[in-house]
Amino acid sequence: MGNDGWAVPLSTIGSANRDQVMMQDRRLGGVGEFLGKAFVLALFGAFATFKAIGIKSQIETWGPQRSNIDQYVDLASHVAALAFLALLLLLTVLRLGPKAAAQGWEPKTSALLGTFLSLALIALPLSDIGSAWRVFAIIIITIGWLLSIYVLAWLGRSFSITPQARRLVTAGPYAIVRHPLYVCEEITVIGVVLLHLSPAAILIAVVQWMFQLRRMTLEERVLKASFPEYAEYEVSTARIIPGQLRSRNAQVVRQQI
């Protein structure tokens, strides 16, 4: 979504033309950012529209008697998802321009698959797990959406789909782990897997998480190259599980002794 793959190696041209090439790269980067925003706004705008229509239809079918707790829990989950999509759309409009972006198509592919592969879960049939487990799964989904909203609000104008460097965020949930948004989104995925529990659902979730891990690695490379302070942040903050950092530091200390 940034200027990936468009940069011209300045070492291959004469110094008299370098300024012109750099201006061209910036213009192309601006076009790429515009197209990236348009893609995100169109896609997630469609998701938000369908979600809002679904919520409206769900409420209209309730009727005068609506004491079933399943309905309220399910509605809360959909409203939380709609709020997340609305915040995502707002931040896409307001986000900062990228300082750097991962080169090539593999970072884009990994990011898109990590983001959207979990949508394949809803194509699977619902599993017969009973009312109690269904409510539990929907609660997990709702918690995941609410936590994602909180993290996304902290990420703010640095939000992007593909690996890009806009502004380094290290406060709030990013002071606990380096990739809290992916962790919170995965909580939602776990809830969806429970609703569609099957070997296929588990396989989709595992593959999707593998792409998310790859996405983290690619993002960290871009951030390291753009922000010198990221090296210290990486050492002091765990990637996805806080306990991992303590264990790793303890192992390093033992090795030094």
Q: Which residues pair with 101 in a beta bridge?
A: 164
Give CATH for domain 66-256.
1.20.120.1630
3-state secondary structure the chain: CCCCCCCCCHHHCCHHHHHHHHHHHHHHHHHHHHHHHHHHHHHHHHHHHHHHHHHHHHHHCCCCCCCCHHHHHHHHHHHHHHHHHHHHHHHHHHCCCCCEECCCCHHHHHHHHHHHHHHHHHHCCCCCCCHHHHHHHHHHHHHHHHHHHHHHHHHHHHCCCCCEECCCCCCHHHHCECCHHHHHHHHHHHHHHHHCCCHHHHHHHHHHHHHHHHHHHHHHHHHHHHCCCHHHHHHHCECCCHHHHHHHHHHHHHHHC
What percentage of the chain reaches a pLDDT higher than 70? 81
Phi/psi of residue 238, nearest 5 degrees:
-70, 160
Backbone dihedral region of 33: left (phi > 0), alpha (psi from -120 to 50 degrees) or beta? alpha
Tell me: the pLDDT tens digits for 36-70?
A: 889 999 999 999 999 999 999 988 888 666 567 88
End-to-end CA distance of the chain: 47
Tell me: the pLDDT tens digits for 114-154?
A: 999 999 999 999 999 999 999 999 999 999 999 999 999 99
Whole-model pTM?
Answer: 0.82
Instruction: Label residue 34 by pLDDT band (50, 70, 90).
Output: confident
Give the number of other Cβ atoms within 10 Å of residue 62's Cβ.
12
Q: Is the pLDDT of residue 243 over 80?
A: no
User: What's the whole-number mean pLDDT along residues 24-47?
Assistant: 78
Which sequence spans correspond to the domains of the chain? 66-256
Average pLDDT, the chain: 85
Give the number of other Cβ atoms within 10 Å of residue 125's Cβ.
10
Q: Which of 36, 33, 184, 159 is nearest to 87 (CA)?
A: 159
Give the number of other Cβ atoms within 10 Å of residue 257's Cβ.
5
Amino acid 71: pLDDT: 86
Q: Which two tokens stand for residue 17?
A: 């033309």
Cα dihedral across residues 131, 137, 141, 142: positive or negative: positive
Tell me: the pLDDT tens digits for 3-23?
A: 443 344 444 445 545 444 334
AA letter at 150 = Y
